[in-house]
Amino acid sequence: MYWLSSLSHVGLAEWSLSQNKYENAINDIVNLYVTALTKLKAFNSVTGWSKFQIWFIRLRMEVIHATQHMLATLETIRCDDLDDYRILKMMNNCADGFRTLASRYDTASQSMLNVDTTMMMVMEDFKVSALILEHASKICVKSRSNAVVIDCQT
d(CA 97, CA 91): 10
For residue 110, the tally of other CB atoms under 10 A from its CB is: 11
45-76 CB burial, b ≥16 within 10 A, e <16: eeeeebebbbbbbebbbbbbebbeebeebbee
- Write the pLDDT tens digit of every residue in 36-77: 888 877 777 666 665 677 777 788 888 888 888 888 888 888
> Where do the domains of the chain lie?
1-49, 61-154
Write down the mean pLDDT value for the chain. Answer: 78
Q: How confident is the model at residue 141 (pLDDT cuts 50, 70, 90)?
A: low
- Write the pLDDT tens digit of every residue in 72-126: 888 888 888 888 888 888 989 999 999 999 999 888 777 766 666 777 787 888 8
